[in-house]
Amino acid sequence: MRGLDTTYKIFPFWRKINHIYALTIITILCSSSYLLGRWQRSRGERSTPATIATCTTNNLTSPIQVPKLLDFSAHHMAEDDPSMSIGSGLLQARTYPSCNTNCIEYTPCEDPRRSLKLNRTRLIHLERHCPAKTELLKCRIPAPFGYKRPFTWPVSRDYAWYNNVPHKELTVKKAGQNWIRFEGDRFKFPGGGTMFRNGANAYIDDIAKLVNLQDGSIRTAIDTGCGVASWGSYLLSRNILAMSFAPRDTHEAQVQFALERGVPALIGAMASKRLPYPSRAFDMAHCSRCLIPWDQYDGVYLIEVDRVLRPGGYWILSGPPIRWKRSWKSWERSREDLNAEQTRLENLAKKLCWKKVVEKDDIAIWQKPINHFNCKRTQTDNPNPPLCPTQDLDLAWYTDLQTCLTPLPEVSVNEEVAGGQLAKWPTRLTAIPPRINSGSLNGVTPEMFQEDIKLWKRRMLHYKKVNYQLGQQGRYRNLLDMNAYLGGFAAALVDDPVWVMNVVPVEAKVNTLGVIYERGLIGTYQSWCEAMSTYPRTYDFIHADSIFTLYKDRCEMEDLLLEMDRILRPEGSVIIRDDVDVLVKIKKITDALEWDSQIVNHEDGPLKREKLLFAIKTYWTVPNPTQQQSNTRS
């Protein structure tokens, strides 16, 4: 019995020892795991730039919001669509949480994470490379904390809020070139540039001494490698509308700064695909030290400029190799190298039948012929480059660049302008475009064009009655028309201090983008089953005419609306025109996106099945980072 008593007394003691030992080991392991995880996380945060951090849904974000602002007097509400029901109950509207803070500048088709894995030859990694359908985010892109409505135009040309584009890199990298300065809570844009020693305005004055910029013959321009688009911003005061583009973050947020200033711009690169514009679109093309190798790859980039340049249009080049004799030392290149580059460039321009107008100081200007009637290259047996075969010369969506010369429309005499003579601006806006007048645009007649002008004058009056903010001077600056047709929406706003990006969907029945450019407006091609090549919060106002009917059975309605939400500014407005049944489905999603929206009657009254959905995106941002960090520590 004593042995049993002893055993009974000893076992509880050892059990206690074992329990204490096990708890100690578990505590040490858990603490070590936690500390290791914290170390790895902090290390990752230090080593991974924010621009390439993973962009995902964040269900924990508590955004900063303000009350809804929309107040429409007239409205029309349709009955719920039975197709939205499951059994006897209505389909529950899904919610769209905030994406995480790494998504603030998310551009799906120019994602830096994806570009790191792509071919870097000829900057192919900087072209559009969109995510697969399974990779599409189902969350809302947040605005940065402290985001403010941009300055109104023309003040916005010179100033932007720091919180809207919180990047100071260019203030250091381009400090000596006066691109941008940081002043307190804002950035200032002095109008400088690499080749703009005295500012963009003085630089444009120098161009104006060589080419007439005042008589209305030059209205549309393209700026390759635009930087922060100072050239385009100062051209606007001369009634010249420039399409500016540059790759995403070759210089940090350059295109985003341009858009924040209220200047037309898109993310883009000259690499292996055509630019998303029709042939014969621009009156003037410009490169100011844009670092594009014009003389390489069989001249394919200059050949592409020739394609989008209007007959008689000008190409302006400043920077290497122009004036190399004076600047070769500062460019850190040899005299022989620069001389050879300019010789190759001059020879290529001659092969394109361009005429060199002038070279003065840092600027050289060439002019494209008004036709190919007397172009010697077209009359030889072995032209170099050869004429492109018969094809759709306006095809420019994921279309490979070609080393053949885009042929101009045939003419009967040497003095005739290929494709038709354009009226000077502003007459050009309402004159019947040559593509319509010639009958080359199937299904669109001169009478239809004139009726479209009247239609949009009436529609715009209705829009401004329902959404009074559209009629307020300076309330909006950057506008987007997602299905522009003949550009009537933009034309009806031409006297307002706004600019409109006219999009012709690649799925549209008729390719009308060439007509839009012939009217003196600008735009681009786009498939709305993919994201647009622009930053979040680009547009103050979005107009979508029958876009959801066009994309029915092509892609998901919610993905299209999420893209609209991405590119729309906080407190930005939307007008969607479509069949009432379509709008009812759209409204369920816009409610889930927390837009303030109402369906209103057609301008011709309540009996029309086509209705309008007017909406405002509510203001919300990510939480205060300082407060978030303190909450995390506690």
Both 243 and 350 in one domain: the answer is yes
Range of the domain at 452: 429-625
Looking at the domain assignment, is residue 8 inside a domain? no
Rounded distance between C-alpha atoms, residue 172 and residue 559, angstroms: 38
pLDDT at residue 66, rounded to an integer: 56
- CATH of residue 565's domain is 3.40.50.150
Flag whether pLDDT at 172 surpasses 80: yes
pLDDT at residue 318, rounded to an integer: 93
**pLDDT digit string, tens, across residues 53-101:** 678 887 544 566 654 555 443 333 444 444 433 233 334 558 999 999 9
Both 402 and 436 in one domain: the answer is no
**pLDDT digit string, tens, across residues 126-139:** 999 999 999 999 99
Q: What letter does residue 377 receive in the DSSP assignment? A: G
pLDDT at residue 248, rounded to an integer: 92
The domain boundary residue, chosen from 339, 374, 409: 409
Both 403 and 517 in one domain: the answer is no
User: Who has greater pLDDT, 289 or 39?
Assistant: 289
Of the candidates 289, 280, 360, the residue with the CA atom closest to the CA atom of residue 313: 280
Q: What letter does residue 108 receive in the DSSP assignment? A: G
Both 304 and 405 in one domain: the answer is yes
Rounded distance between C-alpha atoms, residue 217 and residue 559, angstroms: 41
Both 374 and 331 in one domain: the answer is yes
pLDDT at residue 218, rounded to an integer: 98
**pLDDT digit string, tens, across residues 221-256:** 999 999 999 999 999 999 999 999 999 988 889 999
Both 448 and 502 in one domain: the answer is yes
Model confidence at 480, pLDDT cuts 50, 70, 90, reads very high
Model confidence at 378, pLDDT cuts 50, 70, 90, reads low
The domain boundary residue, chosen from 409, 444, 477: 409
Flag whether pLDDT at 108 surpasses 50: yes
Q: How many residues does the chain have?
A: 634
**pLDDT digit string, tens, across residues 548-590:** 999 999 999 999 999 999 999 999 999 999 999 999 999 999 9
Looking at the domain assignment, is residue 570 inside a domain? yes
Looking at the domain assignment, is residue 555 inside a domain? yes
C-alpha distances out from residue 323 to 201, 342, 582, Å:
21, 9, 59
Tokens of 123: 């900057």
Both 521 and 618 in one domain: the answer is yes
Kind of pairing between the strands at 610-617 and 568-579: antiparallel
Looking at the domain assignment, is residue 91 inside a domain? no
Phi, psi dihedrals of residue 159, rounded to the nearest 5°: -140, 150
Both 433 and 405 in one domain: the answer is no
For the whole prediction, is pTM greater than 0.95? Answer: no
pLDDT at residue 304, rounded to an integer: 97
The domain boundary residue, chosen from 380, 409, 438: 409
User: Per residue, what are the HEC states of 411-428?
Assistant: CCCCCCCCCCCCCCCCHH
Both 392 and 245 in one domain: the answer is yes
**pLDDT digit string, tens, across residues 618-632:** 999 999 877 655 555
Both 514 and 593 in one domain: the answer is yes
Looking at the domain assignment, is residue 286 inside a domain? yes
**pLDDT digit string, tens, across residues 586-611:** 999 999 999 999 999 999 999 999 99
**Number of separate domains in the chain:** 2
Both 563 and 518 in one domain: the answer is yes
**Residue entry with tokens 């039975």:** 82
Looking at the domain assignment, is residue 75 inside a domain? no
